[in-house]
Chains A and B, each alone.
Chain A
Amino acid sequence: MALTAQFKRHLVQLLAALLYNLNLTGFTTGTIYQGSLKGVCVPGLNCYSCPGAVGACPLGALQAALVGSGQRLPFYIVGTILAFGALFGRTVCGWLCPFGLIQDALDKAPLPKIGKGAWSRAFSWGKYLVLAGLVVVAPVALLFATGVGTPAFCAWLCPAGTLEAGIPLLAANSNLRIMLGALFNWKVALLAALGVAALFVYRPFCRFLCPLGALYSFFNRFALVRWRVDEGKCSGCGTCLTACKADVRQVSDRECIQCGNCAPGCETRAIRFTLHDMLQSKGRLAPGEEGAARRAAEKDDGRRKARP
């Protein structure tokens, strides 16, 4: 039996979540991994205070670098995000993020779904506000105002931290439980609200709030690994946009999480995964060559039309 493309994607998501969290004993001891791998960031949103985490969260590390490295610019973490962005763009969101996997699982619940629309397109700008406000401005502003930098996104919003780190650590570590307060209640309420929302709306956190997705969206159109349209084959029927659950207006635009839900419905087989092409064939288009293919096709069409 052949595995469907979506099953393969979920398998990759599961493997990524496992690889990010190989320190399984941490879940029973209520402690976190402290080896040198922790200095390396994983591409997806995975809290470094998760008992299983063997790598750092790029957003947590970015905020920590912004408020904690004195006069130095955070070259290491910015370089890491650039490298992941150039290689994967938002393929990270669709394939390599544990919190995305959880939302995908919740979306499978057989409940009525609220589809995309103008409202969701408007809400999708929220993640850029969160990126600017909570990841960059608030931590730096608090550092200047109070002398203490706070990772504002992690502290006040990040549901992955609550789910992957807060709940397991507090469950296994009684010393931490005595420190519980209003902040934890707020974060659990937020996590619950997002969980309920994910039952009815496709990936609400990724689409509307995730600043890591916002960062990777800047790379989405040109990343090495992504879905691309062979414009020479595209008939412009729009079936891909109808199949998409996110607010995508064009394959691989800023909202595309590279899940590939659009590809099977394409009658002309114009939507292809660059990684698949790289692995399977040398004869197909290289990333970035689709424009040339379209121009060549148009030129060819022109020649044919000009003939009597």
Chain B
Amino acid sequence: MSKLKKHPPLWLLVLAIGILLIAVGTAQGGFADTLRKASLICYECIGVG
């Protein structure tokens, strides 16, 4: 039991990496890029591009 408690579960490590990447990406403008793309109608997506 004590051995299990020493290591955080894998999902938690991956989640932490994900949150770190989201923070770095947001600082680099990733959020703004996604917002810009998603705020316009994507003609390819709807099949008229």
How many positions in chain A have a CB within 8 Å of any CB in the partner chain? 64
Most buried by A among B14, B19, B22, B30: B30
- Check: A133 CB closer than 8 A to any chain B CB: no
Whether A86 contacts B49 by the Cβ 8 Å rule is no
Question: How far, in angstroms, from A129 to B35 measured CA to CA in the complex?
Answer: 28
Known: A72-B28, A83-B19, A292-B4. A166 touches B34 (CB 8 A): no
Whether B12 contacts A86 by the Cβ 8 Å rule is yes
Query: A231 → chain B, closest Cβ, in Å?
Result: 15
**Beta-carbon contacts of A199-221 to B below 8 Å, as 1s and 0s?**
00000000000000000000100
Q: How big is chain B's contact interface, by range? A: 35 or more
**Beta-carbon contacts of B21-45 to A below 8 Å, as 1s and 0s?**
1111110111111110111111111
Whether A179 contacts B48 by the Cβ 8 Å rule is yes
Q: Which residues of A contact B35 (CB under 8 A)?
A: 36, 38-39, 56
Other than A56-B35, A83-B22, A287-B11, give 18 A-B pairs with Cβ distance below 8 A.
Answer: A38-B34, A40-B34, A47-B42, A48-B45, A56-B37, A64-B33, A72-B28, A74-B30, A75-B21, A77-B34, A78-B21, A154-B44, A155-B47, A169-B46, A170-B48, A179-B48, A222-B9, A222-B14
A binding-site residues for B, Cβ under 8 Å:
32, 34, 36, 38-41, 47-49, 53, 55-57, 60-61, 64-65, 68-69, 72, 74-87, 150-151, 154-155, 158, 161-162, 165-166, 169-170, 176, 179-181, 183-184, 186-188, 219, 222-224, 286-289, 292
